[in-house]
Amino acid sequence: MSKNSNLVNEKALEKAKKHHFEFLKKNNAITDAKNGELSLGAMKSLDIILKEYQETLETKMVLELSYLRKKLGLEKNNDYVDRIKLYISELKLPFELRDFNDQKGKRVEWALTSFLNDVKAYKDTHHQIEISISDSFVDYMVTKAGYTKIDLSLSKKFKTKYGYKIHEMVLRYYSMPNKIDKTLGTIKKDLHDLNDKFGTKHKHASKMMEGIDRGLSEIEKITGEKITCVYDKTYKSFVFSWYKNVVPTVDSKCRVPFPRLEEFIDWIILHSKQEIKDLNKYRGKIKKLILDDEFQDLEPSYRGMMIHKYGYTSVEVDEYKLDNGKYKDFSRKKEQPAGLFE
C-alpha cells in the first residue's frame, strides 16, 4: 500500500471518528463534583472543553463561537454569544471536587478549584474565544480513579438540570454490581447529596421528587431508558433503579467476549463507511446483531480490532478462538498508535 493511500485512509478514519463519535471520558472526580450551582449551559460547556482537551492535551485552546453554539444546541438562540459568555464565566468560579488520587498518589477527600483561568476574545478575531484551563484542574483530570463515558451528542439535548445530572449519575453507576439481582442497577442518594448535585435547597423529599420526576421523563424521552425513583422513608434516601442490558449466558450465540462488546461496537462504528444519522439506534441494532450472531462481518472486524488496536498477530488471535467458534477474552496489551489500521 502506497504512502499516499495510507494517508488518505488515515484522514478518512479520522473524519469518520469525528463524525460518529462525540464521547467524553469524564473523570469520576468531576462527575461526582459538587457543582450543582452551575447552570445547565455551564455544565455542557465544561464537557465540551474537556473533550477538546482530551483530543489535543493542550490547556490553551481557541474555539469558534459557531462551534460552541452548535455543540450547546443554541442554533435557535440569537443571543447565543451572551449565553456562551455567561456559561464560560461560571467556569471561572471555584467548586468542590471529591474523592480522587492526586499526582503524588495521596487520596484527596475534597479540593476547591476553578476550571478556567483566562478567557479572551480579540477584536480582529471576535468570532473566536481563547480559553485557558487552570493547571491545577488538569491534575484532577489525569487521576486514575476512573471515568464515565458520556455521549455529548445526546447530553446536549437535555433541557433540565435534573435530566442531565440523573442521566450522568446513572451512566456513572450503571454497571455497579448488585448481589440480589444482576440485571438491576440501583443507587441511593439522600436529600443533601441531591441538593448538592442539582444546586437546589429543598427541605422536603416531595419537592425534590417533583424535579426528579421531570428529569426521569426527559431521560426516557431522549434516550428511551426507563429509570425509576422512590423515596425510602425509613432510611430517608432516594432510590434510583434501572434494568441493565442482559449479559449473554454461557449458551448464548454471541461469539464476542461480553467485556469487549461495547468496545467492539465502538470499533465497528469507527470504521463504518455508511452515514449514521441516529447513533443510539445504530448502536442498538449492531448490538442485537452481535448478540444473535447475525453480524455479517463479525469475524474480520473482531480480528481486526485485536490485530490493529492491540498488536496481536493473526496466529495469536487464533489462539483465543475456541472450538465452538467463540472468542475468549484477551489480556489487554498496550494500544497501538493511531493510523495503524491500514
Tens-place pLDDT, residues 41-93: 999 999 999 999 988 889 999 999 999 999 998 998 899 999 999 999 999 98
State what percent of residues in the chain have pLDDT above 90.
39
For residues 220 and 18, the model is more confident at: 220
pLDDT of residue 157 exceeding 80, the answer is yes
What mean pLDDT is predicted for residues 312-333? 83
Cell numbers 494500544 label which residue?
Answer: 335
Mean pLDDT of the chain: 83
For residues 203 and 339, the model is more confident at: 203
What mean pLDDT is predicted for residues 89-101? 82
β-strand partners of 112: 96
Amino acid 339: pLDDT: 41
Using only C-alpha atoms, the chain has a radius of gyration, in whole angstroms, of: 22
Amino acid 14: pLDDT: 52
pLDDT digits (tens, 9 = 90+) for 121-131: 888 888 899 99
pLDDT of residue 196 exceeding 90, the answer is yes
pLDDT of residue 340 exceeding 60, the answer is no
For residues 141 and 27, is the Cβ–Cβ distance under 8 A? Answer: yes
Amino acid 174: pLDDT: 87
pLDDT of residue 329 exceeding 60, the answer is yes
For residues 232 and 35, the model is more confident at: 232
pLDDT of residue 331 exceeding 90, the answer is no
For residues 323 and 264, the model is more confident at: 264
